[in-house]
């Protein structure tokens, strides 16, 4: 299935889209990979969703990526005697370790790590920031605060801590159980929620042991402060704008998004822009003009993928949401300004053989007007380095490893094909020509550029670039 766009679409599966037939419709509409939200999915359902996605993959003959999104620490206040209470700006309100039901002056906070970490002056945002408190005193067992905005608080509302770094890691006991379960099912990506520091990723990597790639969700100020270190430790990042917009000023989020995308592109790491991209399509068949602009900005920036959350998981128009996002991507990439913007933001090549070959491939492809770049990639490294260059022509990633092709399905511009490895250089060139024609990216009489590592099947050894002419029989010609 040949896509007419380079940006990828990550669609969340939920009650509106969990059946196999619907998953196939979403894939045919444009979804390149699927997200399973472990906040709302038990292990039995997760296994069934993976089975259904793999069945669709087998039916369509295309590698499809699966991302399992771990819940992360959910911090909530306790319960109240009357379910909810009214507060007033300026009053004192206490959060403590007393499990008794709360009232208008206090409430239980069942998280000792918060009670120990918060210091005077730190902000506590309740219910997605609808209630804002600032700490005045803290003794490790209780936090006295002053209400600075908002007027209500009720049972089990969430707590955000924009100024506080917690001593605990990002993986909860539930996350560890979920991580073991999704790894056993062979998911391709695992998203880590509420990352604060690089060490949070190291813990998950020890458990994963290379069985899945790790995507860090950037949704806390602490993560933004250490963004470069986190990107270095991650296989990919997600701009999780929902929680990020709660803990940071809303007007700061667009600039942070641009910074994240550019840093990820510089490091050659995939970056996904997520949250509320077509939010109105949960209940409407068409998006707002502002939402269309929002998606287009992510595409213009060169993000690897854009994500649908509730729009595809629980909305009334999941297929229409995917189709709309796909049309936006296609139209933006046809815009005359698109190549100019992508080129202006292109990072300098790093001083490695793989980067030098990928840079040369892109420059030669643009100079010679070839039909496509075909790259052989076993571990995915060559595909990632080629995509980092953002060439304005198709990139066909050939891999003998199905897991690699699935993971690369989230990467900008890569059309992934699973094929047996070539046994020698001549076969490699012939196969590249034949696949380029079969996949609809080239025709006899055109030229392609081929990159690979020689000797063949040597991971990370991209050192060969070749121009091949496609003969009338679809093979290479001297």
Write out the two tokens for 111: 């998280």
The DSSP element (H or E) to which 116 belongs, if any, is helix 112-117
Is the backbone of residue 72 left (phi > 0), alpha (psi -120 to 50) or beta? left
Please write the tens of the pLDDT for every residue from 218-229: 999 999 999 999
Please write the tens of the pLDDT for every residue from 283-335: 999 999 999 999 999 999 999 999 999 999 999 999 999 999 999 999 999 99
Confidence tier at 457 by pLDDT (50, 70, 90): low
Predicted pLDDT of residue 424 = 86
Q: What angle do CA 453, 33, 170 make, to 5 degrees?
A: 95
- 451 burial level (CB within 10 Å; 0-12, 13-18, 19+): buried
Residue 143's beta-bridge partner residues?
A: 95, 138
Rounded CA gap, 308 and 315, in Å? 10
Q: Cα dihedral sign for 241, 242, 244, 245?
A: positive
Predicted pLDDT of residue 177 = 97
**What phi and psi, each to the nearest 5 degrees, are found at residue 288?**
-80, 160
Residue 187's beta-bridge partner residues?
A: none
Assess whether pLDDT exceeds 80 at residue 454: no
Residue with tokens 């196999």: 20
Please check whether residue 186 is in contact with residue 127, taking contact to mean a CB–CB distance below 8 angstroms.
no
Confidence tier at 112 by pLDDT (50, 70, 90): very high
Mean pLDDT calculated for residue range 67-86: 96
Assess whether pLDDT exceeds 80 at residue 1: no
Poorest-pLDDT segment among 86-100, 205-219, 337-351: 337-351
Query: What 8-state DSSP symbol labels residue 132?
Result: E
Mean pLDDT calculated for residue range 416-427: 90
Mean predicted lDDT score pLDDT of the chain:
95
Predicted pLDDT of residue 458 = 66
Q: Where in the chain is the domain with CATH 3.40.1380.20?
A: 353-477
- 28 burial level (CB within 10 Å; 0-12, 13-18, 19+): middle
Is the backbone of residue 140 left (phi > 0), alpha (psi -120 to 50) or beta? left
Q: Cα dihedral sign for 195, 308, 334, 441?
A: positive
Rounded CA gap, 48 and 51, in Å? 5
Please check whether residue 313 is in contact with residue 330, taking contact to mean a CB–CB distance below 8 angstroms.
no
Write out the two tokens for 291: 């939402």
Q: Cα dihedral sign for 209, 303, 298, 229?
A: positive
Assess whether pLDDT exceeds 90 at residue 120: yes
Q: Domain 84-160: state its class.
A: mainly beta
Q: State which of 88-102, 161-175, 455-469 shows the largest mean pLDDT.
A: 88-102
8-72+170-339: CATH number = 3.20.20.60
Residue 217's beta-bridge partner residues?
A: 238
Assess whether pLDDT exceeds 70 at residue 460: no
Three-class SS of residue 48? helix
| Overall pTM > 0.85 | yes
SS3 sequence of 320-377: HHHHHHHHHHHHHHHCCHHHHHHHHCCCCCCCCHHHHHHHHHHHHHHHHCCCEEEEEC
Please write the tens of the pLDDT for every residue from 255-280: 999 999 999 999 999 999 999 999 99
Residue with tokens 């929680």: 243
Residue 309 or residue 478, greater confidence = 309
Measure the CA dihedral 338/259/32/375, to 10°.
70
High-pLDDT (> 90) share of the chain, %: 91
Confidence tier at 478 by pLDDT (50, 70, 90): very low
57-84 burial: b if 16+ Cβ within 10 Å, else e: beeeebbbbbbbbbbbbebebbbbeeee
Please write the tens of the pLDDT for every residue from 364-410: 998 998 999 999 999 999 999 999 999 999 999 999 999 999 999 99
Write out the two tokens for 208: 């994963």
Please write the tens of the pLDDT for every residue from 150-167: 999 999 999 999 999 998
* C-alpha 469 chain-centroid distance: 37
Q: Domain 353-477: state its class.
A: alpha beta
């Amino acid at each position: 299935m040949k896509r007419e766009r380079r940006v990828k679409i990550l669609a969340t599966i939920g009650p509106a889209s969990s059946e196999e037939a619907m998953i196939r419709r979403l894939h045919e509409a444009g979804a390149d990979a699927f997200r399973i939200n472990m906040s709302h999915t038990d292990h039995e359902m997760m296994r069934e969703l993976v089975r259904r996605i793999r069945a669709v993959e087998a039916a369509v003959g295309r590698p499809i990526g699966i991302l399992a999104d771990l819940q992360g620490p959910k911090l909530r206040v306790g319960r109240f005697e009357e379910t909810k209470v009214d507060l007033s700006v300026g009053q004192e309100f206490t959060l403590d370790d007393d499990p008794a039901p709360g009232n208008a002056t206090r409430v239980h906070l069942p998280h000792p790590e918060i009670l120990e970490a918060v210091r005077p002056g730190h902000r506590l945002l309740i219910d997605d920031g609808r209630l804002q408190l600032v700490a005045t005193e803290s003794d490790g067992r209780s936090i006295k605060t002053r209400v600075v905005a908002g007027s209500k608080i009720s049972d089990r509302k969430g707590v955000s801590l924009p100024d506080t770094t917690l001593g605990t890691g990002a993986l909860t006991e539930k996350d560890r159980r979920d991580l073991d379960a999704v790894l056993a099912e062979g998911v391709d990506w695992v998203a880590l929620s509420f990352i604060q520091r690089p060490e949070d990723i190291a813990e998950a990597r020890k458990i994963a042991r290379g069985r899945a790639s790790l995507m860090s969700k950037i949704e806390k100020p602490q993560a933004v402060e250490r963004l470069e270190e986190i990107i270095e430790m991650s296989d990919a990042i997600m701009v999780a704008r929902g929680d990020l917009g709660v803990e940071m000023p809303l007007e700061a989020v667009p600039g942070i998004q641009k910074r994240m995308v550019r840093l990820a592109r510089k490091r050659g790491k995939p970056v996904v822009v997520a949250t509320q991209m077509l939010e109105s399509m949960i209940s409407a068949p068409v998006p707002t003009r502002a939402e269309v602009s929002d998606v287009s900005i992510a595409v213009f920036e060169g993000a690897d993928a854009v994500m649908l959350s509730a729009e595809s998981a629980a909305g009334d128009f999941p297929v229409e949401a995917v189709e709309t996002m796909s049309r936006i991507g296609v139209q933006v990439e046809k815009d005359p300004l698109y190549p100019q913007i992508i080129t202006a933001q292109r990072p300098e090549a790093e001083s490695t053989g793989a980067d030098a070959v990928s840079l040369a491939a892109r420059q030669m492809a643009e100079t010679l007007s070839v039909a496509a770049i075909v790259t052989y990639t076993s571990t995915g490294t060559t595909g990632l380095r080629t995509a980092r260059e953002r060439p304005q022509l198709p990139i066909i990633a050939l891999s003998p490893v199905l897991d690699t092709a699935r993971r690369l399905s989230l990467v900008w511009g890569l059309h992934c094909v699973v094929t047996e490895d070539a046994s020698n250089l001549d076969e490699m060139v012939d196969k590249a020509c034949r696949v380029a024609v079969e996949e609809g990216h080239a025709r006899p009489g055109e030229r392609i550029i081929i990159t690979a590592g020689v000797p063949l099947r040597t991971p990370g050894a991209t050192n060969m670039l070749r121009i091949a002419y496609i003969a009338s029989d679809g093979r290479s010609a001297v």
